[in-house]
Structure 1
Amino acid sequence: MVQMPVEGARDFAFREHFADGQPARDLHRALAEEAPIAIEINGIGYAVMMATPTDLTDYALGFCLSEQLIASADQFLSADAMPVDAGGWMLRVQLAASGAAPLLERARLRLAEGSCGLCGIESLEQVLRPLALVTAQIDVEPAAVFSAANTLGELQVLGQATRAAHAAALCGPDGRVLLVREDVGRHNALDKLLGAAARAGLAVGDHFILLTARCSFELVQKAVIAGCPLLVTISAASTLAVDQARAHGLRLISLARRDSLLES
């Protein structure tokens, strides 16, 4: 049976060996694409991210919203993605003039960051900067979370093909999965989802987000910035993730399995 190619995956030849002494065999397996993506915003080189080069317009918009370079999608004008000869991709983003001031300030701060990414008191203050409280509220019962978690696997096209991609899903209060985006990076998958929701005109505050990942601080921060009332992850949360969720009014559910979940 010939498998159809999956966007964001490439087929590789392998030789499989077995511990029990069975003869080795040749096989083909799909791997999730990972590539450096240079993000240029209004002509300024802003960041190089490792990501799966799919849904890059969604990614660009979600990234700009998560980075708080823009306050709303109407300040996002365009995104053009193109492969580069040296390998990887160039993602050129154009924001409205109103987004230029925070862009220039964030770019200036990045010049002071060292290889660890968090060098200097000013940078640490930026990472743990206070955020607006989440004011949106939705009524989501555990049954709806179980329903979404049980459905998501069927919608992970890249994940099913490679077993190596994270997914982020936007879900209605009843547990219906409305949008799914995938990437090798959990942060990228969430940015793609936020961009896709904004482009579709779906208010994040009226939905909950489900992630196939452990719940780290950065994911909580992105959810808070997006005004998400409930974040659900299938793996455990970190201490800082729980602390920040509680401090900013984000309802947090982790270890969402088929038959149990933990609410912080």
Structure 2
Amino acid sequence: MSQHPFARHAATRHPGASPILRSLPEETPIAMVYHGSTHAVMMASPQDIEDFATGFTLTEGVIEDASQIEDLRIVAHEAGIEAQMWLAGDRGERLAARRRSMAGPVGCGLCGIESLSAAIRDLPQVGGVGIPEPEIAAATDALRAMQPLHDETRAVHAAGFLLPGQGIVLAREDVGRHNALDKLIGAMARQGMDASKGAIVLTSRVSVEMVQKTAMAGAGVLVAVSAPTAHALRLAEGAGLTLAALARGGGFELFCHPGRIVTA
């Protein structure tokens, strides 16, 4: 199983049947293993696995702080990669409340949830700072400049963290939009970044789980290049999350909680 993020393959471009060499992103099974038991298997890009494991564990509500992962080991196998984790205290009990057993497709954020109530969980109320309107309008273009895997393959998503006055200070990529966000959140937690000090920026639509993960990370502003679903908007409204979507071409549409957008 390749751990390189992409592979090159021959193809032909039509019309004309011109031979080309195309870079294709890899999809690798990534197993989240806690105390020796597999909790979830996700198809993801085989890079930034420590960030992915940390972010996934945080956004699933298994832990509240990255320091509660006492040990994290990345183990490569022929069939994929294991992120083996040992958690502090009784954190393992949280796995029973939100237990998963999934080998889902890359776009699937809620595969394997065992009850309807687990799919739409209660979210914390988020805080957050004000962000100037021009920075929101330029956020997705700024993120686009930090996507080397997308430049190579044209087939992956990204999530970035925008700090007012500094632009996009951190970004992560993955074949799955949920995975890219988990990787970003994990990287921020491992680097001690406070999500409430800026905005999460996405290259995707805003689905329910993208709102859930953003709220669990503690960010008060979510910016996306595409539109939200109706239920994702309802969740954002309930969590106090400022949602700016369809952010492209120097503009955006503001859907809820406008108080954090600072206008001239």
Confirm whether residue 128 of structure 1 aligns to residue 91 of structure 2.
no
Given candidates 4, 9, 12, the residue that maps to 1:15 is 12
Sequence identity percentage: 38
Unaligned 5+ segments in structure 1 are: 1-5
Unaligned 5+ segments in structure 2 are: 102-109, 256-264
Q: Tell me, yes or no, if the aligned pair for 2:13 and 2:19 is still in contact at 8 Å.
A: yes
Confirm whether residue 205 of structure 1 aligns to residue 193 of structure 2.
no
Q: How many residues align?
A: 245
Question: SS at 2:227's partner residue?
Answer: coil
Confirm whether residue 117 of structure 1 aligns to residue 108 of structure 2.
no
Q: Tell me, yes or no, if the aligned pair for 1:148 and 1:175 is still in contact at 8 Å.
A: no
Distance 2:188 2:113 in 1: 30
Confirm whether residue 43 of structure 1 aligns to residue 40 of structure 2.
no
Go from structure 1 to structure 2 and tell me whether the alpha carbon gap of 1:175 and 1:261 turns closer, same or farther (over 3 Å shift). Answer: farther
Deviations 1:152-199 (A, max 9, x none): 111100011101010000110236111000000000000000000011
Return the structure number with greater strand share: 2
Q: CA shift at 1:104, angstroms?
A: 3.6
TM-score (norm 2): 0.88
Given candidates 164, 167, 170, the residue that maps to 2:155 is 164
* Aligned counterpart, 2:172: 181
Q: CA shift at 1:37, angstroms?
A: 1.2
Return the structure number with greater helix share: 1
Q: Tell me, yes or no, if the aligned pair for 1:149 and 1:258 is still in contact at 8 Å.
A: no
Distance 1:117 1:233 in 2: 26
TM-score (norm 1): 0.88
Higher radius of gyration, 1 or 2: 1
Confirm whether residue 84 of structure 1 aligns to residue 81 of structure 2.
no
Distance 1:182 1:156 in 2: 7
* Aligned counterpart, 2:105: none
* Aligned counterpart, 1:255: 246
Report the aligned-residue RMSD: 1.8
Question: SS at 1:74's partner residue?
Answer: helix
* Aligned counterpart, 2:56: 63
